[in-house]
Every structure is written in C-alpha cells, then in structure tokens.
Amino acid sequence: MQILLLIVFVVAALTAAAYARLNLRGWAGAMLLAAAAIAFYFQITALWAVILLMAPALVTLLISLPAIRKPLVSRPIMRLIKPILPQVSETEQAALDAGTVGLDAEIFSGQIDLAALRAVPKRAFTAEEQAFLDGPTAQLCEMLDDWQIRQDRDLPPEVWDFLKDQGFLGMIIPKAYGGLEFSAHAQSEVVSRIASRSGAAAVSVMVPNSLGPGELLSHYGTEEQKQHYLPRLAKGLEVPCFALTGERSGSDAASMRDVGVVTRGTYEGKEVLGIRVSWDKRYITLAPIATLLGLAFYLTDPDGLLGGEPEIGITVALVPRDHPGNVMGYRHDPAGGAFMNGPTWGQDVFIPMEFVVGGQAMLGQGWRMLMEQLAVGRAISLPAVGTTGTKSALRIISAYALVRRQFELPIGKMEGIAAGLAEIAADAYVLEAARSLTNAYLVQGQKPSVLSAVFKYQATDRLRGALNHAMDIQGGKAICDGPSNLLLAAYQGVPVAITVEGANILTRSLITFAQGSLRGHPYLLKEIQALQDGDLEAFDAAMTGHVGWMAATKARAFWHNLTGGHLLKLGADVPKPLAAHYRQLSRAALSFAHLSNVVLVSFGGGLKARQMVSGRMADCLSELYFMAAGLKYWEDLGSHDEDLPLIDFVMQRHLFALQEAMRDVLGNLPAGLGWAVSPVIFPRGAWRRPARHAQIRKVAAMVQVPGPQRDRFTPSVYVPQTRERDSLAVLERAFVMAHDNQDLYRKVKQGARKLGLRAFHDRDWYDVLQEHKVLNAEEAERLRALERLVHQVAAVDRFAHNSFLAGEADGFQWQD
C-alpha cells in the first residue's frame, strides 16, 4: 500500500511540475523534495525512495545540464527523427512565410487569450463605406434580376456599366490611383449583399477585388505599372482576370507546365529583352470578357541572359487581351452559372520584361506573391458568398416553413422540419460570426492564411449543407426552376464555390492542419528548420522546450478534463451567461493541443499520407475557431439574452462535433496509442451528447418570428424595396402576415371543424365562415389577402411549351 501511495504521489508531483511548466532542473528539484518528504512521512526505506524518486530525479538533473544533454540526448534524437519529420519544400516555405498567426497559434498552444479575443474591434464601416452600401450597392441590388441574368447567361449591359462607373471593380485599389480602398469589412459586405441577389453579379464583382492584377499591382507593381493600370482598373476601363490553373496543374498549382524562356525579341519595332511563353489555362473567371490577363508561368533562363541560375521560378506577367498570340474569348459552362468563365492559351508568345509585375526585379517571385495575397483574398470573397448563401437559405426557408401549411399547421412546427431549420440557423450564425472576426483580423493588418483556408472550406461546405436542408424542406417547388424559385440557382452554384481557390477536399485534408501545425505550433517549425540546417544548438533549445510544453499541456488537459473545465480561470469581465461556454472552449483547446502533439509525434512526415487523420484534425481546428467567433459575436451584437438559446445550441453542436472528430482520430492512432491518450482527453467519458430535441425546437421557433432577432441572424440579405413582385419580397410579406394572423388560422380551423367545412379551389369558405359568425368582415378580408400571398409563395413557375423548348424566359406566367 505504501508503494502504491508513493507512486500516486510521484505521479501527482510530476503532474504538478508539468502543469507549472517547470524546466528540467525544476522537475528534478521537485522530485528530490518529494522523495525526502514521502520517505519521511511513510517511513519507507531510503533505498525505495532513491529507486522510485531520487534516481529519476538525478537522471533528470543530469539531462538538464546542456553539456551532458546535447551530446548524449539531443544529437542522437536529431539523427533518429530527421528521416521522420516532414521536409519543408520551397513552395511550402513560401506558403508558410506568406501569412501571419494569431488565434490559430493560440488554439494550437492550447491557451486561447480570451481577453484579446473579446477585445478585437467589432465590425464597423466608415461614413464613406456606409454611404456606398446604402447608395450604389442598394441601387445595384434593386437592378438585379437573377432569373433574367441566368437566361441571358450574362449581366445586362446597364449593370456592367453601373459596376464600372460606380467603382465596384476597384474596391481594393488605393484612392491615390482612383480606387475606393475599402476595408475588408466593406468589401465583404458589398459582395454579401450582391450575392443575396445574384451569384453571377457577386462573382463579377469579387474577382477583380481578389487575387488578380489589381491586388498584385497594388503590392508589387512598379510605379509606372501602377500609374498606367490601376486608374483604368478602378474605373472599369480594364477588366482583369488571373490565369493560374492549367490542364495538369490544378490543386498542385506550383507544378504548372506553362513555361517561359528568357530571350530577346521584337516589341513595338524594337529588339528588347523579354520572355517567350506558352500557356494553356482553364477555369479562368472573367477571361471571356477580360481586357487584361494576369498570367502565372514557370520561368527559365537557359542561355544565362540574366546572368544567374537557369531555373528562375514562378513569375507573374500582365498580358493585354489584344497582344499577338494571346487567345481569349471562349467560355466554359460552370454548373450552368451565368458568370463569365473560360480558357486562355498561347504558344511561343513573346512578351517584354515590362509586362512582368514588378519588372525584372520580381522574376521568380510569383509564388510568394500569390501566397501572400491569397492569405487575404481567400478570407473575403468566397466566405462572403458562402455565409450569405447560408443566411439567405435561412431567411427564405424559415419564412416558407411558417407560410406553408400541411395537416392544418405550418410545416415549421413539425419536428422533422424544425431539425433542418435549427441546423441552418446554427450554421448561419457561426459563419456570420467568423466573417466578422476574420475580417477584423484583416483590418488589423493580419494575414491569417490558416484561418482563411479554414473559413473558405467551411463556409462553402456549410452552404452546401444549408441548401440541402432548405431544398428538402421546400420539396417539389425547390426543384422546379423559374423566377419564383429562390433556392435552385444557389444550389447549382455550390460545387463552383467548393472547387475554386483551393478545392475543399484538398484544403481540408492536406493544407489546414499540416500548415496550421507548422505555423501555429510553438516548437515544431523551429525543430524542422534546425534539423534541415543541422543546427544542434537550435534543435536542443526547441526540443527541450517542446518536451516541457508537451508535458505541461498533457497535465493541464487531463486535469481540466477530469474536473470538467469548471476550475479554469476567466477574466472578471467575462459575461456571466457565457462563462461556462468560455470554460468549455478553453478546455477543448487544451485537448486539441495535446492531441495535435500526439498526432505529430505518431505520424511525423507520414502525416501527409494520412489525410483522413489530417482532415479530422482540420475539422477540430474549425470547430474551435467557430466556437470562439460565435461567443465573441454574441457580445458584438449587443449581448441579447433572447439569443442565448441559439448560443447554447451552437456550443452544444460544435463541442459534440469536436468530440466526435477527436474520437475518430484516437481510434486511428498507430499501435493502439489511442487507448493511452484517450484517458487524458476523456477521463470521465464523452463530454457531450447531441443537442436535446427541446433545444432544436426552440431554435427553430426563434427563426420563424419576424422582427429584430431574425434580422440579426440574417444580416446582409437584401430584400427588394421597389420590386413589388420580386419573389423574396412576396415571401417576406406573406411571412409577416401569416405570423400576425396565426390566431385567425386557429379560429378558422375550429370553426371549419364545427361546421364540417373543407377548403376547395372553387369555394370562398371565408364567406361561409363569415355567415356563421366565425369571422367578421375585416378578418375574412385579411385572410383572403393572406391567401393570395400564400398562393404566390406556393406557386410553381410554368412555361408555354414552345418557349420552354426554345430556352426562352418569356413563357413564364405570373399567377395572380
């Protein structure tokens, strides 16, 4: 028994030392003191104390001495693990160097700075930005008729002119060159509002303001290039596109086969130094109408004309549409979308050095340029589209669920429908929270490359889930296209959003956790760099720090999981309703940090091939980011107590999802390691169960009530003010009226049952109910008006046969 108690004390001493993050000498000292105290208290022999405590303490003490540790421990470990740890290629290093770390690094370290998180300024617009949103953006939204745009397969000429004249294509261009120079918040908001009206219009606006000529010139162009192109881009005199993807280089864009060779040639009648380049690019948005092509290619200098190495690397150039040999103008048909997208190619096209972005000094710097700007651009445009699509689905289907009645009640009251509504509501909330927080980081000057990757793939994937739910709820009406169908165009466009700017399947399984761990982990990148450099000093410092941090993280994770996170300390100003949620977030981050260490040590460089594990770890990181953003966003919105049921549901849902992802990883660790790690993360069993049905019903009911709360959950969804017959405007009017007349519906139901009445198309049963004093004249007329609106909401578009076969839209019949 004494030996058993001694072992317990040893474990406790080690855990306490780890928790306190003592260095090796501190550990040794702690064990020596513990040995003396335990030997005295339990009156065990000195031999047992030395064997069980003092011997390990002395070994630890010796290892703590650098002169002994480096040759006997660190150097052999270097030799052992150098083949195991992943090598960082030049392209990977460029991607790692391109971004910054912040909250993602805190998550990987297991210590989220809640005070810093909550102090991030909430979304705000300048007076100029707000005026643009209230003026040109609102005006544009009123102009957009998505059905007609999809039939014409292009924006109307007047819309294109408006976009150019009002500066929509130059939001990222500095004011000094005629652009709007809007913040990330404003860019995202403009794209969001447009996306709620037309996907094609949103794409046409976001592409010139994302990775492409405007952004590249602003950051890397020569002053001469900026003066020439930026004012023209800002006013739409030039329409840009950017060509990166090729036939053999999709997700692996760095392996592009488009090649340029440094040579001399003739340009404008003069012999100049330039590049002879051949390319074959596809999927290039705006290429069919673009006047300026941004082109990425691999540059070589086999003849040494530049006086350096023959392999120069990826380079970016600007090629005018009418430049000899540049072929543009053809179109792809991406999922039936109306936005412009197509291929471009050229064979042995000579371009002068002045076409290279940044001139000759930026030769071979293209990959770095692209990674640096992708870290920002990927966080704005597609996440805005995914977030707004999810909020639009929520606004549309929550209204429809109250208006549409079956079995004598709104379908939104049925639990099967309510479950889908609650899922959409939770996704809409967390995506909007993440949009606000991510853009705030961009406004602060951060380039969150890992978080932007997380947000892009999660926003577009959750959009797919939301639209699947919405389509299921709306049923037959949702699958019949036409002017009154508010869901199908978005549903058809989801695969495009999921694919571009890094296919989700790749981003999730290969990039997010791999790059996140390298960038966010406190020691991993330092260790890899030290190994690659053969630097024993740097490796020894990183390794000893890593070991101590791993032990501390494991101890803290075990303790706080054992105590359910209740003993985690929070700041005094944390809102009381969120205190328990913040504790669970912090506890979960600790568990993720510990599991990350285990995964990295277990798989080493082989992690690239274990993409199912890497993908599940990416899911864990995503859940933690969304929980952090969601809690902060509640405060940003004004800390409304009536919104707390949604917050509770969001946290329950994401903690459960995180738990299941972790359990999946634990079940796939090598050599049964999961059995050893699981007690640290789940010492008391599972953290969470799925949300209770009562929670789900409550959230579903919340979003079926018109008013400020529903508006808070669906910001940026533009509801037309002047288009009276617009399908969304009609649905909104029907929704409000159906909600306000629920008592009358119940009155009608009771009266009809009493009188034995049934509703038929050729009978005005409100007359009968009025005759029998069930309704008065005003009530009957109110319900007739509501029925007319309900008829429009439920109606399915129909076309005259001949015009339908001809693909003409004028066969649509508005049903009054």
Q: CA torsion angle for 23, 27, 28, 29 (degrees, to 10)?
A: 100
Known active-site residue 311: no
* Tokens of residue 396, six digits: 């549309």
SS3 percent helix, strand, coil of the chain, rounded to 5, is: 65, 10, 30
The active-site residue out of 129, 238, 501, 527 is 501
Please report where in the chains the tokens 């544009």 appear, as a residue: 140
Output phi, psi for 162, to 5 deg. -65, -45
Question: Could you tell me which of 316, 328, 330, 326 has the C-alpha nearest to residue 348?
Answer: 326
Q: How far apart are CA 427 and CA 646, in angstroms?
A: 11
* Position 643, amino acid: D
Q: How many CB atoms lie within 10 A of CB 616?
A: 24
Q: How far apart are CA 322 and CA 328, in angstroms?
A: 9
Q: How far apart are CA 276 and CA 271, in angstroms?
A: 13
Q: How far apart are CA 510 and CA 91, in angstroms?
A: 14
Q: How far apart are CA 639 and CA 483, in angstroms?
A: 39
The helix (run of H) or strand (run of E) holding residue 276 is strand 270-285
Please report where in the chains the tokens 């990148």 appear, as a residue: 525
Integer CA distances (angstroms), 306 to 44, 299, 617, in order: 79, 12, 45
Show the DSSP H helices in 687-776 as ranges: 693-702, 708-713, 727-740, 742-755, 765-771
Q: How far apart are CA 527 and CA 677, in angstroms?
A: 23
Asked whether 239 and 208 are in contact (CB, 8 A), the reply is yes
3-state secondary structure 683-699: ECECCCCCCCHHHHHHH
Asked whether 507 and 459 are in contact (CB, 8 A), the reply is no
Q: How far apart are CA 295 and CA 309, in angstroms?
A: 22
Exposure string for 634-653, b = 16+ CB within 10 A, e = fewer: bebbeeeeebeebbbbbbbb
Exposure string for 158-177, b = 16+ CB within 10 A, e = fewer: ebbebbbebbbbbbbbeeeb
Output phi, psi for 358, to 5 deg. 85, 0
Question: Could you tell me which of 191, 205, 190, 177 has the C-alpha nearest to residue 128?
Answer: 190
What are the DSSP calls for 86-133, one per residue? PP--HHHHHHHHHS--SHHHHHHHT---HHHHHHSPPP---HHHHHHI
3-state secondary structure 589-653: HHHHHHHHHHHHHHHHHHHHHCHHHHHHHHHHHHHHHHHHHHHHHHHHCCCCHHHHHHHHHHHHH
Q: How far apart are CA 283 and CA 245, in angstroms?
A: 7
Question: Could you tell me which of 537, 664, 515, 540 has the C-alpha nearest to residue 600?
Answer: 515
Q: How far apart are CA 328 and CA 281, in angstroms?
A: 10
Question: Could you tell me which of 143, 137, 171 has the C-alpha nearest to residue 155?
Answer: 143
Q: How far apart are CA 243 and CA 207, in angstroms?
A: 12
Integer CA distances (angstroms), 79 to 14, 448, 518, 605, 811, in order: 28, 34, 21, 15, 75
Please report where in the chains the tokens 């797919």 appear, as a residue: 464
Active site residues: 501
